[in-house]
């Protein structure tokens, strides 16, 4: 018994002429078009949101250039798998005349060591790498590998792209073409899709499958809402719910409600959220919302990110839960966050004020002659390793940027500042 592939898979284009969207890359004289016409492509990273055609484009590039393509998923593959593919290509030798593309889906999930294992083969041209990622490659791909790749940014499909895709499915799909389907209203389908081609086809298939087989179908906004909403009431890690849930999670920790925070964490775990995304947000929160009230919070959050990066799902849920509870139950303070905001506002108003001459670095004889650093007092030459002197530009001397909160740690900091500086910095 043959199992029919989902509609999104059935509608996957067979060549670049059938590919919908990404005109900025594939139109006449566009950068990727020029590379394909030249017949020589660099290693590439396709960066863009889900459902915009990254995987499909990789296969179509291989098809266009008549290259062999090997595929690895960063979720399920490790260094051993990478080395096996590279060895297979090398062993093929002269039989691989057309060249080989190694496609790695979700390359941002590869660890540093896994990415390192690609370097030699990419540098020597044994394989042409095409990586697909939903995350900014500048942050997620090691610099040595990134420098050897050209990054192409893929954009969300336009409404026109998605309408064209639906109309094509009705006309050309082996099943849909046999039914009398008319789309009277597109708005709800487009809203649910969020620019994701795969998602809009999945929703469309759900709706068609829920209706009687022997009747004509007229797609309206009401029909879509009634038949698709329940099926889509799951965590969408790339839609509005993604942002709503992470917002609720962060606000729960900020509000010291560990139970609520754990619930929202569980929602993300069950939804398959990227654990590194959660861990990154915890690092930001540890500094923005806890900061000097508990300096260990930042250490905890950073260690959590490092552990999560090494471990992955499902065990990372335990590490994230531990950090979540710790941060939620921690003393809170946003003094550092407010301090840098206050300082930036002053910089924006006052511009590039001169560094006090005593604070300047006298790196040449001329600078010494001009008095650079001459009146600087070295703190360690004085009792208590402290001496009062002016470190700020004279125009803003005495300006206070940091104001302590009510937590015990921050009050200790404020008392120490007052002990050293007396009434110089006033609130």
Quick: pLDDT tens for 178-214.
888 889 988 888 887 777 888 888 888 888 887 777 7
Eight-state DSSP code of residue 30? -
Return the bridge partners of 72, or none. Answer: 104
pLDDT at 95: 44
pLDDT value, residue 1: 42
What's the pLDDT score for residue 241?
A: 62
Task: Report residue 2 as tokens.
Answer: 């043959």
How confident is the model at residue 58, as a pLDDT? 93
> Mean pLDDT in the chain?
82
Does residue 126 register a pLDDT over 90? no
> What letter does residue 344 receive in the DSSP assignment?
H
Structure confidence at residue 94 (pLDDT): 45
Asked whether residue 352 carries a pLDDT value surpassing 90, the answer given is no
Q: Which of 32-36, 115-119, 216-220, 381-385 has the lowest mean pLDDT?
A: 381-385
Lowest mean pLDDT among 24-28, 47-51, 370-374: 370-374
**Which tens digits make up the pLDDT trace of 67-80?**
889 888 877 777 88
**pLDDT higher than threshold 80 for residue 387:** no
Q: Note the pLDDT of residue 179.
A: 84
| 8 Å CB contact between 165 and 11 | yes
Widest distance between CA atoms in the chain: 95
The tens digit of pLDDT for each residue in 284-295 reads 999 988 888 888
171-182: per-residue pLDDT in tens?
988 888 888 888
Cα distance between residue 370 and residue 358, in whole Å: 11
Sign of the CA dihedral with 273 first, then 274, 275, and 276 last: negative
Determine the angle formed by the axes of helices 316-329 and 240-254, rounding to 10 degrees.
50
Q: Averaged over 410-414, what is the pLDDT?
A: 74
- What is residue 322's predicted lDDT score, i.e. its pLDDT? 92
The number of CA neighbours under 13 Å toward the Cβ of 338 is 12
**What does the pLDDT read at residue 233?**
44
What is the model's pLDDT at position 168?
92
Rounded to whole angstroms, the Cα distance separating 210 from 205 reads 9
3-state secondary structure of 46: strand
pLDDT of residue 237: 53
Contact 417, 403 (CB under 8 A): no
Mean pLDDT, rounded, for 9-13:
89
Structure confidence at residue 426 (pLDDT): 67
Q: Rounded to whole angstroms, what are the CA distances from 284 to 135, 335, 336? A: 17, 14, 12
Least confident of 32-46, 288-302, 372-386: 372-386
The angle that helices 296-311 and 316-329 make with each other, rounded to 10 degrees, is 170
Confidence of residue 229 (pLDDT cuts 50, 70, 90): low
The string of DSSP codes covering 47-73 is E--TTSSHHHHHHHHHHHHT-EEEEEE
- Identify which has the larger pLDDT, 36 or 392: 36
Higher pLDDT, 228 or 45: 45
Q: Span 419-425, mean pLDDT? A: 75
- Amino acid 45: pLDDT: 94
Name which of 13, 32, 22 is nearest 157 in CA terms.
Answer: 22
User: What is residue 162's predicted lDDT score, i.e. its pLDDT?
Assistant: 92
- 252: enclosing H helix or E strand: helix 240-254
Model pLDDT, residue 60: 93
Tell me the HSE value of 373 on the side-chain side, using a 13 A CA sphere: 10
pLDDT, tens digit (0-9, with 9 covering 90-100), for 242-267:
677 888 899 988 988 888 889 888 88
Q: How far is CA 83 from the centre of its chain?
A: 27
pLDDT at 240: 53
Query: What residues does 100 pair with on adjacent strands?
Result: 68
Q: What is the pLDDT of residue 360?
A: 77
Return d(Cα 201, Cα 8) in angstroms, integer: 6
Q: Residue 363 pLDDT > 60, yes or no?
A: yes
pLDDT at 98 (0 to 100): 54
Mean pLDDT, to the nearest integer, of 269-293? 86
Q: What is the structure's pLDDT at 298?
A: 93
pLDDT above 80 (res 129): yes
Go through the domains of the chain in sequence order and give each one's CATH number.
Answer: 22-153 (3.40.50.300), 159-228 (1.10.8.60), 241-329 (1.20.272.10), 351-421 (1.10.3710)
Which is more confidently placed, 8 or 397?
8
């Amino acid at each position: 018994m043959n199992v029919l592939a989902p509609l999104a898979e059935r509608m996957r284009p067979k060549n670049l002429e059938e590919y919908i969207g990404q005109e900025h890359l594939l139109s006449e004289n566009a950068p990727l078009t020029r590379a394909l016409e030249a017949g020589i492509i660099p290693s590439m990273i396709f960066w863009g949101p889900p459902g915009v055609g990254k995987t499909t484009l990789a296969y179509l590039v291989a098809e266009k250039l008549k290259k062999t393509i090997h595929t690895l998923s960063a979720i399920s593959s490790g260094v051993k798998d990478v080395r096996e593919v590279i060895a297979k290509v090398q062993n093929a030798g002269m039989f691989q005349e057309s060249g080989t593309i190694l496609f790695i889906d979700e390359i941002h999930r590869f660890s540093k060591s896994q990415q390192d294992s690609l370097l030699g083969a990419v540098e020597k041209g044994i394989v042409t790498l095409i990586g697909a990622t939903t995350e900014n490659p500048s942050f997620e791909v090691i610099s040595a590998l990134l420098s050897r790749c050209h990054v192409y940014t893929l954009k969300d499909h336009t409404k026109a792209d998605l309408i064209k895709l639906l109309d094509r499915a009705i006309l050309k799909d082996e099943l849909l073409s046999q039914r009398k389907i008319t789309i009277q209203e597109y708005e709800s389908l487009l809203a649910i899709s969020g620019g994701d081609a795969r998602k809009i086809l999945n929703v469309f298939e759900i709706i068609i499958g829920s209706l009687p087989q022997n009747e004509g179908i007229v797609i309206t906004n009401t029909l879509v809402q009634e038949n698709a909403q329940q099926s889509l009431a799951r965590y969408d890690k790339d839609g509005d719910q993604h942002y709503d849930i992470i917002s609720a999670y962060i606000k729960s920790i900020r509000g010291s409600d560990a139970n609520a925070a754990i619930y929202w964490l569980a929602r993300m775990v069950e939804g398959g959220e990227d654990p590194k995304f959660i861990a990154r947000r915890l690092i930001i929160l540890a500094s923005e919302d806890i900061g000097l009230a508990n300096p260990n919070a930042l250490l905890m959050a950073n260690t959590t990110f490092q552990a999560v990066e090494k471990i992955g799902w499902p065990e990372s849920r335990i590490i994230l839960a531990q950090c979540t509870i710790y941060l939620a139950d921690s003393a809170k303070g946003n003094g550092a966050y407010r301090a840098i905001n206050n300082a930036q506002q002053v910089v924006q108003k006052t511009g590039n004020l001169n560094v006090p001459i005593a604070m300047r670095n006298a790196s040449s004889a001329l600078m010494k002659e001009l008095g650079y650093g001459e009146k600087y007092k070295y703190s360690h030459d004085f009792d208590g390793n402290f001496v009062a002197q002016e470190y700020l530009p004279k125009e803003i001397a005495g300006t206070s940027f940091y104001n302590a909160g009510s937590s015990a740690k921050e009050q200790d900091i404020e008392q120490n500042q007052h002990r050293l500086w007396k009434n110089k910095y006033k609130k």
